[in-house]
Structure 1
Amino acid sequence: MGYLGAVIGAGFASGQEIIQFFVVYGSDGLKGTLLATFAFALCGGMLLYLAHRHQVSNYQDLLAGLMGNKGGKLIDWLLAAFLFLGISTMLSASGAVFEEHLYLPKSLGILLTYLMVIFFLFSGKKGLIFSFNMLVPVKILFLLLVTGYVVFFMESQALGSYSVYLCPVNSRFWIISSILYVAYNFSLAMVVLSEYQSLSNCREGIAGAAWGGLMLGILVVLSYLSLCKFLPAIMHYEVPMLYLMGRISPGVKQFYTLILWIGILTTAIANAYGFTQRIADFSGLGFGSCLLLCMTLSLPLAMQSFSSLVGKIYPVFGLLGIIIISVLLYQGIKDMALLLYYNIKN
């Protein structure tokens, strides 16, 4: 569940990520969602395999084991920059929900998420695990129910002319877009998923991460199909999934607002935990003090548009995720090949 919670955040639950990485490619976007499903399951299982094999329970040690001390530190600091920007993005997302759908001040949404992240994380790792175990199951179950309902029981409202809103570039780019989506999401998921190494044995950890990736892929597919039913109307909203929920009923929309905010909060928690942990290790200051400092420094950027932040920040750091995934898969396949070789030899 921690894997899912780290990935299914504001961009996913709002529908912005699904639109920008899949919907804009039309029918090719569906192939992209299937590719992402396979990649999430594979990478999740491989990460837990390596975490158990090398007995590491934080992402810094995992990066050092995969890339060496120098390479690991470089990627670590680049990832830290992404985590910090991710905090601002999640705060901005909270503000967008409050402003666009609750008709409340954007600053109120930002402040509430700011305070809740501090509340959950002040105790460090225990707070991270507690918040994810409490919030993520509710979020996953409701997302499956509502997207499944839209896909299988609602009539399509798509207009024949919606193709003008789709990506004008070569359709082959859907592969790159899908890989970027998995890459930048996995960078964040790695921060949380590596913490679960000490909470499970090797076989259970690998199976749980792989099944989590598969479930995430199913949610991506359902979200893609449900959003496509309402093109081009959804392109005009920063939080298009709430528009879809409003088409079901006002009550569902109101409840989904809560689910969306939980998605924002859990992703903000994951970003804040990873970044604060890194700053605390580097500075020698207490985790609580660093948490307050990091959250406060993220406030100015949070006033920017949420959709703008998703579009500019996430694809760039997807390139960082591609490096991490490439090394992860290479090292995982290498370790398993060597293990198989020694078993056959002996």
Structure 2
Amino acid sequence: MAEAGLEVVLITEDVSGLAEGIVRACPTVRLHTGSVASDVLDRAGKANVVIGLAQTITPELVAATPQLRWIQALTTGIDPLLKLSLSKEVIVTSARGVHGPQMSEMAFMHMLALARDLPRMIGNQRHQKWERWPQRLLLGKTMVAVGVGAISEELARRCKAFGMRVIGISDARTTGEGFDEIRSRRELVATAAEADFLVVMAAYTPQTRHLINTDVLAALPSRAYVINLARGPVVDEAALIAGLKARSFAGAGLDVFDVEPLSVESPLWNLDNVLITPHLGGMSDSYSQQLLPLVVHNLRAFAAGEIDQMHNRISIAATGAGA
């Protein structure tokens, strides 16, 4: 088989599910598995391929794989890899598009919980308090997705099923399934003024750091919620906290933060208009099954020398991170 002799390091906490699928599909691959990079450093010397969540691929692992030619990130974001000073000869591929179902469901959880004030309901249940108030619907509301890609399209389709208006913000796309319209980033501030929910999905790059800044937050209507499922630094956290304290907009649902885990000293924990989830957006109970088709396809293409057929290739050199 084409992949015969290929040595692969797989770093994942769910080693069994993905590893078993790779072995079934590519039985001649020699697979070295571990839940963290340090588990495989002594077996990585001949590896051509490293597969793992971007944040689990360490400088020590890269140094231990002198024959490394390809990294398959099991995440959409690959920003941790930008710090590794990878050779320009190393191919990097991401898991872009795999996370659509779980990320869009997480966005909906935040939208529904914030709109209907679920934390208040849970508090009342704990205190056996019977309190009723008008329930805010998603029907007819406007969701602005900052960043348009496969995940945002999954979310947009679900929003349309709920009768919502959907606007995207992107400089790379002008159309997308489920979107009523897509506008450029230069229209972000003006578009924020129309939002009931500003859902941040943009990839984290130097250009998107603090994309959601004081100007964007100040433009939000008092009824609007910010939901960040991208990376913490895409939103200016200090400006966000100031806006939440001033109640210049309704609140926020936050799954990502500048520093994770979120410090116990962060004021975000104690704000009553914030819903916090601990970076759960990309997780699912079927993640190995979701990843397997992509990983197997790319393994077979790489082994056959068909690099141009590999999915989700990313140019590290274009970011200035190449060695």
Compare relative contact order (CA 8 Å, sep 6+) and give the higher one, 1 or 2: 1
Using the size of structure 2 for normalisation, the TM-score is: 0.24
Rg (Cα) greater in structure: 2
Structure number having the greater helix percentage: 1
Using the size of structure 1 for normalisation, the TM-score is: 0.23
